Amino acid sequence: MRPAHLAVSAALMLLPLVSAAGTSKDIEPLKSWTIPAASGQVLEIHLRTGAGLRITAWDKDEVSVASDWTEQRCPDAEFEVTRTADGVLVETRYPAGTEVVTHNCSFAVDIKVPRRYDVRLGSAGGSVAISGVRGDVRGTTGGGMIELVGLRGTVQLRTGGGGIIVQDSDLEGSLATGGGRVRFDNVSGGVTGRSGSMRGIVRGRRSST
pLDDT tens readout for residues 27-58:
556 678 999 999 999 999 999 888 899 999 99
Q: Strand pairing partners for 56? A: 112, 131
Task: Label residue 62 by pLDDT band (50, 70, 90).
Answer: very high
Q: List pLDDT tens digits, range 154-165.
A: 999 999 999 999
pTM of the model: 0.84
The Cα-based distances of 59 to 132, 133, 154, 170, 174 in angstroms read: 10, 11, 20, 20, 27
What pLDDT, on the 0 to 100 scale, is given for residue 53? Answer: 95
Q: What is the 3-state secondary structure (H, E, C) of the chain?
A: CCCCEEEEECCECCCCCECCCCCECCCCCCEEEEEECCCCCEEEEEECCCCEEEEEEECCCEEEEEECECHHHCCCCEEEEEECCCEEEEEEECCCCCCCCCCCCCCEEEEEEECECEEEEEECCCCEEEECCEEEEEEEECCCCEEEECCEEEEEEEECCCCEEEEEEEEEEEEEECCCCEEEEEEECCCEEEECCCCCCEECECCCC
What pLDDT, on the 0 to 100 scale, is given for residue 19? Answer: 37
Task: Label residue 126 by pLDDT band (50, 70, 90).
Answer: very high
Contact status, residue 55 vs residue 129, Cβ threshold 8 Å: yes
Distance, CA of 55 to CA of 113 (rounded, Å): 7
